[in-house]
A and B are shown apart, each in its own frame.
Chain A
Amino acid sequence: MTIPAPAADDPHSIAIDVEGLTKSFGDTVVVKNLTMQVRRGLIYGFLGPNGSGKTTTIRMLCGLLTPDSGRGTCLGYDIRTDAAEIKRHVGYMTQRFSLYQDLSVRENLEFVARVYGLPDPRAAAREAITRLGLEGRAEQLAGALSGGWKQRLALGACTLPDPQLLLLDEPTAGVDPKARREFWNEIHALAAQGLTVLVSTHYMDEAERCHEIAYIAYGDLLAQGTVSEVIAASHLTTWTVSGPNLVALAETLSKRDGITMVAPFGTSLHVSGPDRAKVDAVIAEFRTDPALTFEPAEPSLEDVFIDLMGRAQGGAAPARPS
C-alpha cells in the first residue's frame, strides 16, 4: 500500500469535501443539505439511526447515486462528473456481502484485480489472500464462508486495487467481537499507511475507535468532530444513580421537567438533561434518599446520540427505558 501521491505533503488535505448534498426518493428527503469534510488519512465514523441517509450519502460519494442538488469532491474529483475516476481510486464495501457467492475466494479476488486492470491479477490475489490470512480457504466458495471471513474477504477485495479512500457501509454488522476487533486493527493499519476511511456503524465502541465522527439523522448532519468534541458540544449533564427499585425511580425521574433521558446501564441508571441547573435541581431532591447513590458522570457517546436523535425528531428523547 502506498501513501496517496497527490498532496501527500499536506497533512490537512481533504479527501471528501461536500456541500449542500440533497437526495430524495419520491417524496422522501433522504439526505438534506449535507455538508462535511473528511481529512486525508483519518478514520471517519459515520453514525446515525436506521434510514438516516448514511448509505445514500456513501453511494453519492462513490458515484452510484446522483445528488439532486449540492456539489462536492472526493479525492479532488467531482462527484457529479468524475465518477469514473472516483471508482478507480475508491474502495467501496457494501452493506450486504456483494461478491460472487459461487466463485471461490481466489476467483473473486482475481476478478476484482482484472477489472481494475492490475498488471498481474494472479499475484495480486495471492498477495491479498496471504495478507488476509485466507490461505487455507483460497479455493472455498465465497458463499460458504462464515460472516467474519466474508467481511474480511470483502475488505480484501476493496483494498486490492490500492485505493486512496475506503467507504465502508456497516462493515461489521453481524460479525463476532473477535472478528470485529481484527477488522478494526486492519483499518487502523490501513489508515496509518495514509488511507482515508469513512465507515458507517451502529456500534458505539466502534465510533470511539474513529479519529472523527459525524452523526447524521433523517438527512441532517447533527454533530461532527472527535468523540470528546462531540460529547462536549452536547452540553449534556449526566448523573449515574444506583440503588434498589431503579425501575420505579426511572419512571418517576423521566417525568420531571429538565430530564430528557433516563437509561439503565447494568445496575445503575444514566439520568441526563441539556440544562445543568434543572438536572441538578431534580437530582438534589432525590439525593436525600439514603438508599440511592448519585454520582456525576460524563455522558456516554450513546447518551449523546440518543439525545441528538430525540432532538432531530423535534420532540423529547425517548426517556423511558423500554
Chain B
Amino acid sequence: MSGTAPAPARRREPGRTRMFLRRIGAMLLKEVLQLRRDRVSLATMITIPLMQLLLFGYAINTQPRNLPTAVLLQENSDVGRSILRAMENTRYFTIVKQTRDEQEFDRLLQSGTVLFGVEIPANFERDLRRGDRPALLVAADATDPVGSGSALAALNTLTTTALRWDRAIPDTTSPPFEVRAHARYNPAAVSQLNIVPGLLGTILTLTMLIFTALAVTRETERGTMETLLAMPITPVEIMLGKIAPYVVIGFLQGSLIVGAGALLFAVPIFGNLALLAVLTTLFIATNLSVGYTFSTLAQNQLQAMQMAMMYFLPNLLLSGFLFPFAGMPQWAQWIGETLPLTHYLRIVRSIMLKGSTLADLRYDTLSLVVLMLVAMTIAVTRFRRTLD
C-alpha cells in the first residue's frame, strides 16, 4: 500500500457480510498456521482416539477369562478331576496350583496370586455317588466384583454339565452336586468397597501428575529457569525441592479420601493403617517423579499437560481400576505392570479389604520403588543443566 489514502468515493466497499467472512477467514488461516507448528497437539489428536480404540477393542474385557485359580484337594478322585477339567473348559478358570495344604491355599488367595480357590472336600466322590449332593467349595476374591462375577455365574451351569457323561452317578433331575461359592473380602459385593480404594489411586495419579508436570516447564516459560541455572543449585536438588511439598498435599488428599470412604461408605480398613500410609506416600512420590519427568521432556506447559493426559488414559484402563486386570491379554498386562497405579491398586485393595501385610505386598511395593527410581533417573538426566 502506498502512503496515499484511497479515495473513498471511487472505491467500492465490500459488503458487510463479505468483510465478516473475510475476517473469519483471516483468523481461521492464522489458527491453521499455528496448529501446523504445534506438532504435539496434532499428535495428541491422533494418538488419544487411536489409543482408546485399541485399548477398549483389544485389551479390555468385562468378562475376563483365564482367571488364576488354586485348587485345594482334600481327596484325589476321578470326579474331582472331571469337574476341574470342566472348569478349565469354561475358559473362565486357569488352574495354576493344586495343593493339599490349607495354609498355602489361603496364602495364595490372600496375596492375590489367585482370584479363585476351589476346594474339593474329603469324601466328595463317595457322597456324590450316593446321591447326597455334596458341595464344591469355591472361594472368590471379591475385591474386584466385576472380575469374579461372570466366572461365578459360569460355575453354576457347571453343576449340570460337568458330570453329564459319568454313568456312575444316580440319574436325578437335580444336579449331582452343588457349588457353594463364598466371596471373600467383600462378601456382599458392595461396589463402594472396591471403588473407594480404586478412586484413591486414580485421584492421586491425576492430581500428582498435574502438579509436577508443569513444574519445570513453568520455570522455562517464565524465564526463571535461566536464573535458576545460573545459581549454585543442582538438578537433583531442584527436583527434590519441587516434589517435596506435593508429597504432603498428596498425603492430605489421600487421608481425605480414605476418611470420607470410611465415614460415608463404611469402607473398612482391615490392614495396618500405618502400612497404608507409608505405601501411599511411596505411590505419591512415584507419580510426582513421573509428572516431573514429563515436565523435563515437554517444551511448554501445554505439551506437558497433553503428555500427562496421554499417560493417564492407560492408567485408567489398564491398571485394573475400571476393568479386571486378570481379564486382559498378556501384552496389556505387561503394559499394566509398568504403571504405578496397577501396583498401588493391588496394595490399597489388599490392605483395606484383605488386611494384607507388607510381606504379601512385597512385589508391588518393590515395583513402585523401581518405577520411581526409573522416573527420577530419566528426569535428572533429561534436565538441561545448561541452555545448550
Is B230 within 8 A of A65, CB to CB?
Answer: no
Is B233 within 8 A of A64, CB to CB?
Answer: no
Does B7 sit within 8 A of A, measured CB to CB? no
Residues of B within 8 A of A96 (CB): 223, 226
Q: CA A97 – CA B225 in complex, angstroms?
A: 11
Does B272 sit within 8 A of A, measured CB to CB? no
Partner of A98, one of B224, B233, B387: B224
Residues of A within 8 A of B233 (CB): 115
Is B227 within 8 A of A98, CB to CB?
Answer: yes
Does B388 sit within 8 A of A, measured CB to CB? yes
Is B386 within 8 A of A101, CB to CB?
Answer: no
* Nearest residue, chain A, Cβ from B231: A115
Does A209 sit within 8 A of B, measured CB to CB? no
Is A64 within 8 A of B226, CB to CB?
Answer: yes
Residues of A within 8 A of B223 (CB): 94, 96-98
Is B386 within 8 A of A87, CB to CB?
Answer: no
Residues of B within 8 A of A87 (CB): 230-232
Chain A 53-83 per-residue mask, 1 if CB under 8 angstroms from chain B, else 0: 0000001001111100000000000000001
Residues of A within 8 A of B11 (CB): none
Q: CA A97 – CA B227 in complex, angstroms?
A: 9
Is B227 within 8 A of A64, CB to CB?
Answer: no
Q: CA A59 – CA B385 in complex, angstroms?
A: 12
Q: CA A115 – CA B233 in complex, angstroms?
A: 7
Is B388 within 8 A of A98, CB to CB?
Answer: no
Is A64 within 8 A of B386, CB to CB?
Answer: yes
B94 to chain A, nearest CB (A): 56
List residues 212-227 of chain B with CB under 8 A from any CB of chain A. Answer: 222-227
Residues of B within 8 A of A116 (CB): 231-232
Is B232 within 8 A of A88, CB to CB?
Answer: yes
Is B222 within 8 A of A94, CB to CB?
Answer: no
A: contact size bracket: 20 to 34
Is B224 within 8 A of A99, CB to CB?
Answer: yes
B214 to chain A, nearest CB (A): 13
Does A44 sit within 8 A of B, measured CB to CB? no
B138 to chain A, nearest CB (A): 60
The winner among A59, A84, A88, A157 for most chain B CB atoms within 10 A is: A59
A152 to chain B, nearest CB (A): 16
Q: CA A189 – CA B232 in complex, angstroms?
A: 26
Does A112 sit within 8 A of B, measured CB to CB? yes
Is A65 within 8 A of B388, CB to CB?
Answer: yes
Q: CA A106 – CA B271 in complex, angstroms?
A: 47
Is B387 within 8 A of A115, CB to CB?
Answer: no
Does B375 sit within 8 A of A, measured CB to CB? no
Q: CA A220 – CA B4 in complex, angstroms?
A: 43
The winner among B224, B226, B231, B388 for most chain A CB atoms within 10 A is: B231
Is A94 within 8 A of B387, CB to CB?
Answer: no
Q: CA A268 – CA B359 in complex, angstroms?
A: 91
Does A92 sit within 8 A of B, measured CB to CB? yes
A82 to chain B, nearest CB (A): 12
Does B229 sit within 8 A of A, measured CB to CB? yes
Is B230 within 8 A of A99, CB to CB?
Answer: no
Is A65 within 8 A of B231, CB to CB?
Answer: no
Is A59 within 8 A of B387, CB to CB?
Answer: yes
Q: CA A63 – CA B386 in complex, angstroms?
A: 7
The winner among A62, A83, A92, A115 for most chain B CB atoms within 10 A is: A115
Residues of A within 8 A of B388 (CB): 65-66
Does A100 sit within 8 A of B, measured CB to CB? yes
Q: CA A15 – CA B230 in complex, angstroms?
A: 18
Residues of B within 8 A of A62 (CB): 230
Residues of B within 8 A of A88 (CB): 232
B286 to chain A, nearest CB (A): 27
Chain B 219-262 per-residue mask, 1 if CB under 8 angstroms from chain A, else 0: 00011111101111100000000000000000000000000000
Chain A 249-271 per-residue mask, 1 if CB under 8 angstroms from chain B, else 0: 00000000000000000000000
Q: CA A115 – CA B226 in complex, angstroms?
A: 14
Q: Given A59-B387, A65-B386, decide whether A99 and B232 contact each other with a Cβ distance below 8 A.
A: no
Residues of B within 8 A of A64 (CB): 226, 229-230, 386-387
Q: CA A63 – CA B233 in complex, angstroms?
A: 13
Residues of B within 8 A of A117 (CB): 232
Q: CA A174 – CA B197 in complex, angstroms?
A: 56
A58 to chain B, nearest CB (A): 10
List residues 122-166 of chain A with CB under 8 A from any CB of chain B. Answer: 157
Chain A 85-127 per-residue mask, 1 if CB under 8 angstroms from chain B, else 0: 0011010101011111100000000001001110000000000
B301 to chain A, nearest CB (A): 15
Q: CA A112 – CA B233 in complex, angstroms?
A: 10
Residues of A within 8 A of B387 (CB): 59, 64-65
Is A94 within 8 A of B231, CB to CB?
Answer: no
A69 to chain B, nearest CB (A): 14
Chain B 373-388 per-residue mask, 1 if CB under 8 angstroms from chain A, else 0: 0000000000000111
Residues of A within 8 A of B227 (CB): 92, 94, 98-99, 157
* Nearest residue, chain B, Cβ from A96: B223
* Nearest residue, chain B, Cβ from A102: B222
Q: CA A83 – CA B227 in complex, angstroms?
A: 14
Q: CA A94 – CA B222 in complex, angstroms?
A: 12
B364 to chain A, nearest CB (A): 38
B210 to chain A, nearest CB (A): 18
Q: CA A29 – CA B311 in complex, angstroms?
A: 39
A129 to chain B, nearest CB (A): 18
Residues of B within 8 A of A101 (CB): 222
A-B contact pairs, 5 of them (CB 8 A): A64-B386, A87-B232, A98-B224, A98-B226, A157-B227
Given A65-B388, A98-B225, A115-B231: 7 more A-B contacts, CB < 8 Å: A63-B230, A83-B386, A88-B232, A92-B227, A94-B227, A96-B226, A100-B224
Minimum-distance CB pairs A-B, first 9: A92-B230, A98-B223, A98-B227, A87-B232, A96-B223, A88-B232, A94-B226, A64-B387, A115-B231
